[in-house]
Structure 1
């Protein structure tokens, strides 16, 4: 339908709205023997290491809705490398079509490290609030100084509730994708635009630097 009408913006709802509408079916799919196997695996992991943490969110009919887990090493890593965290839900699992939501940090070798992850039935504010509250509880109540996400409104609302003192910034990768989508006509008409824009983005430490560079190319 989106292709037929030229994109989701032309049909009155977003792709994410469709995924959220199907969350009940996803719960039913995962609520079969797979949910039991997952729980047994988590219990086994916790028996081997009591610092393994997991939590399950159930719906009104006691069916599995969302699940979060983090191992002992990730919990220890967060104590040292938890100042800045990236949170993303753009990954979709192949079998269940549920959102895979990892919390990612960076260590002292500039390597990405996993700081916990979840499978989510939907991407609503209430789900994100549950996940973030559960995650910060697993991390000893320590909120990150900064968190990077995409421009999702439900995610932004949840962050303001759970992490009111955390700096929330948008991920540059997502911003650059939007530039290509929204300013495609400008890029086609001015072959130097992306070179100039990249210089402004990647070589500006302050907002004032960015504005000066952009003004210089007007």
Structure 2
């Protein structure tokens, strides 16, 4: 999942972005509303986190404009303004969540994950493919009843494949959703991670290579070439 963090305080922005990356999310950063506007124009985000009061304006007004333009990205406001009227105003313009500073980073991460899930097509909280079970709420994966130890990034990639099961997911889509602008698109980060993920999931293979495109999560097939 890919998240945009809009915060003018460089130290806080870095801390929030680092914490969310530690949760396996891809994070882009913007220091003001013009930069946020440009980022939202060129990238499809699963969630956006806005500091409410920025030197370039009130993020509430900016989000109101986004909603009037038909932009549906889930938004979480971070703010020191903690009155009921402030919270109501944030929701009234189209905000989806509101977290008052100071906040606990684990709570922020949990709220962002919840909004990211809300942004995807509705699906059961537990998905099953052959004997593979993916619990997106608990962020756990079992195969044959055995709990697998996945990194947050491995889970993120598997979750994307699961949301589009039986479909070919382009490598570029995985880069866009699971890595941020710091990633080098021509590197082999996707191939390395998928190889690690396959080893942990085990045989018979469920992640299939679609040559020239990317990968597909599907039941095992005879003569599968997914490990090549």
Flag whether TM exceeds 0.5 (same fold): no
**Bigger relative contact order (CA 8 A; separation at least 6):** 2
- TM-score, structure 2 length as denominator? 0.26
Which of 1 and 2 has greater Rg? 1
- TM-score, structure 1 length as denominator? 0.27
More helix by share: 1
